[in-house]
A and B are shown apart, each in its own frame.
Chain A
Amino acid sequence: MKILNIIEAAYRGTIEEQDDTILWLTNIMQSGGGDFTVLLRGNAINHCVTAQDCSGLSFGDWQQMQPPRLADDTAALIAKGVEVCYVVEDAAERGLQPGDMVPGLKAVSRNAIAGLCDAHDQVWHW
């Protein structure tokens, strides 16, 4: 069964979780035998931008030693065989070019999203 995970909610609890929970969920379920595709849209496209860095956070004497590394997590999904797509128009609206993002992403136009959904057995919109 092919499942399309559409991730639209961006940076939802990422500091506390030390990752994006849906990228994480996809990674775990892909390892468990699932067959997933990921579509990043809206602000969530920023998850795959390589220049982001949220390290150095501290509260009093406490320091966050393992910040979320969302671009690395996205690249890890691709390395695991998950096709990770992003909506071209959403990226352009945010001034993002392909060179700003991790390699291996698949660009998808808005008018191709319906076809992408149709190519999967279930569509989960997060």
Chain B
Amino acid sequence: MSETKTLTFAVMDPPYETARSTTLLRLLDIAVRRGHNVNVFAYEGAVYLPFALQKPHPNPAHGRNAIEEGHLLPKDLIAAMMAAAENAGTKFDWVNCGMCVDERGADQAIAGVRRGSPADLLKMAQESDNTLVIGTR
């Protein structure tokens, strides 16, 4: 395995709106699979990515119920990556911007998600090998 790095990601997009949030999740998964430590700072609408009240729904256009559809919920992907990192002995730290959470009422996040502030992003970046911003366009 290559040398373990610590990578920070700052992301702004909410789920189910653009491919950027999917790209973020795919990058996180690759980083975890390769044994790197991962920090995420979710800013603005991205605080809804680990929102605990996300629910699967059936898809009548596909003729499938919710279980058959296997509806993708970002919170489940994040939980799975947290578990994978824990099993691998690496770090996966997800911080939701607290003010962004408050103004959206998005205060019910899955276990393992921390409430934080821009100070956390700065600290994460300072302790990382590099930082990738995935901003809103």
Contacts and interface: CB of A to CB of B under 8 A. Distances in A.
A21 B44 contact: yes
Given A25-B118, A29-B119, A126 B125 contact: no
A1 B126 contact: yes
A34 B122 CA distance: 7
Interface stretch (B32-40, B60-68, B128-136): B128-136
B121 interface: yes
Name, among A9, A12, A13, A126, the residue most crowded by chain B CB atoms within 10 Å (CB to CB): A126
Chain B interface residue bracket vs A? 10 to 19
B137 interface: yes
A13 B136 CA distance: 10
Nearest to A125: B133
Nearest to B100: A21
Contacts of B117: 28
Contacts, number: 37
Main secondary structure of the interface of B (DSSP, over half): mixed
A52 B136 CA distance: 23
Contacts of A122: 125, 130-131
Nearest to B123: A32
B135 A9 contact: yes
Nearest to A24: B118
Interface of B: 10, 12, 43-44, 117-119, 121-122, 125-126, 130-131, 133, 135-137
Given A9-B135, A9-B136, A34-B122, 18 more contacts: A1-B125, A3-B125, A9-B137, A12-B136, A22-B135, A25-B43, A25-B121, A28-B119, A29-B119, A29-B121, A32-B119, A122-B125, A122-B130, A124-B133, A125-B133, A125-B135, A126-B12, A126-B135
In the A-B complex, the 9 residue pairs with the smallest Cβ-Cβ separation, listed nearest first, are: A126-B135, A124-B133, A28-B118, A29-B122, A32-B119, A29-B118, A34-B122, A122-B131, A25-B118
Interface of A: 1, 3, 9, 12-13, 21-22, 25, 28-29, 32-34, 122, 124-126
